[in-house]
Amino acid sequence: MYYHRTGNFPKKILASPNDNLNYLLRCGTDQQINFIFQLDGQVDAERMKKAVRLTLDAEPVLGCRFVKDRRKTYWERRDDIDGLNYFEVIETTKVENELNKFILSQIDPSLDSIIQVKIFRSEKDTLMIKSDHSVMDGGGFYDYLTLLCDIYNKLTENPSYNVQPNIQASRGLKQVLKHYSFRKKMCSLLRERGYTPTWSFPSIGNGRTKKTFTLRKISPERFDNIKQYGKQRNASLNDMFLTAVFRALFAINKPHKNKPMTIAVPTDLWCLMPTKKAETITNLVSTTFASTKYDPTITFDEMLKDISKQMKKKKDIYLGLGQTFVLNNLFRLRYSWIEKLQKGIFKMVYKSGKMHPIVTNVGMVDAKKRHFAEVNVEDGYIITPVNWATSFSMGISSFNKRITMSIAFCEDSYDKRTIELFLDLIMSEFPE
């Protein structure tokens, strides 16, 4: 089949602290990340299958299974890769139905291929890439897409092309931490305070079975208007979204006046590296928090000013560095101890019924770099993991100035009408 001719791969790769954390977080979410790309034509299916297979050699961890051990977890290189369901072409006139089935399916990283690619073929192809959050984050997904495009295009030029495995690269957090002194790490930790959850998205139960998702899209014209509005107020696009989300949550939850409320915001750690790039496809993300008090009289612009000021200050203290330092040291302990600790923490969280809503902006897909020979990507967006109460998250992605907001959830945990209202309220906060 398709494999690297030397077969020179590490048999075991130590799971990074973030790999472990994202594996443990499946108690509140299915931890599946889905990227959907609508193409302007049809790719060569056999070439795509070969390209996908070669990505599992180019980044050896993608050809592994996750192994739990009481002391340390690790990724173990598989010897049955060619028998795995890592690629499939589905010819259908009901693309949306087939796409939805795949989106709501779940990968078990200890059993299944941790990368699964499907092409839903009608007049044009829809390409979907699914993976488990335990092996990569949103930034890792972008790196994977770049890798897949690059290999496909090289196979177009040379059908005998093979890859050079990325064996020496680090998957761990040391690739970030090594650039900073102990003093800077502690300074970031002490100034980047966490918050006790004071609210959560309103739920109707804690079921985990009725999985679904919903989307909202913002047109390129409106994107320009939103960005310009923020620029005039010295605020980023992310600041605009955080402000809109706060206001939508306030409208739905109606908390007590002047009580601080908090949103968790995942942040990319690669921005702290001199190269601004991870050494390999991995999990390089931390979390910061934005907090503001509920005041029904405050305007959008006043709240935007406050949020923007907070986020600028956080960037000045090496956003997420302190938490990353703590996490890296925590996972020096036996995995079984941390697993026990995590279960205890989540038990308390679920008992309280409160957990920070999460807003994750995975950024922009660069259309110029993403093409498969003569076939281009027309649109692309992410669907973040399915959540059940009390966990709740919303994903934001953009392609060619077209923004997509996605929420994946269980209908026996959250009322779909409330989710739809929440997204409509966010949209109503933005300029047309």
- Say how many residues make up the chain: 432
pLDDT, tens digit (0-9, with 9 covering 90-100), for 303-324: 999 999 999 888 777 778 888 9
Considering the domain architecture, whether residues 243 and 369 belong to the same structural domain is answered as: yes
Structure tokens at 22: 């994202």
The CATH number linked to 281 is 3.30.559.30
> What is the Cα–Cα distance from 129 to 56, expressed in whole angstroms?
13
Using 50, 70 and 90 to split pLDDT, how confident is the model at 2? very low
The answer to whether residue 164 is domain-embedded is no
How many structural domains are present in the chain? Answer: 2
- For 6, which DSSP code? T
In a domain, 321, yes or no: yes
Q: What percent of the chain has pLDDT over 70?
A: 97
pLDDT of residue 1: 36
Range of the domain at 81: 12-157
What burial letters (b/e) apply to 245-268, b meaning 16+ CB within 10 Å?
bbbbbbeeeeeeeeeebbbbbbbb
The CATH number assigned to the domain holding 71 equals 3.30.559.10
- From the number of C-beta atoms within 10 Å of its C-beta (0-12, 13-18, 19+), residue 235 rates as buried
Query: What would the pLDDT profile of 153-181 be if each residue is shown by its tens digit?
Result: 999 999 999 999 998 888 889 999 999 99
169 in any annotated domain: no
Residue 226 has pLDDT above 90, yes or no: yes
In 3D space, the residue among 194, 203, 305, 306 whose CA is nearest the CA of residue 253 turns out to be 203
Residue 3, domain member (yes or no): no
Residues 66 and 124 grouped into a single domain: yes
On whether both 319 and 380 belong to a single domain, the answer is yes
Indicate if 181 and 141 belong to the same structural domain.
no
Phi, psi of 131 (to 5 degrees): -150, 175
Query: Does residue 285 form part of some domain?
Result: yes
pLDDT tens by residue, 95-125: 999 999 999 999 999 999 999 999 999 999 9
Same domain membership, residue 178 and residue 128: no
Burial class (CB in 10 A: 0-12, 13-18, 19+), 25: middle
243, 386: one domain: yes
For range 388-397, the mean pLDDT: 94
8 A C-beta contact, residue 192 and residue 180: no
Query: pLDDT digit string (tens) for 253-264?
Result: 988 888 889 999
- If asked whether residues 192 and 260 sit together in one domain, one would say yes
Q: Does residue 264 share a domain with residue 121?
A: no
pLDDT the model gives residue 5: 46
- To the nearest whole number, what is the mean pLDDT of the chain? 91
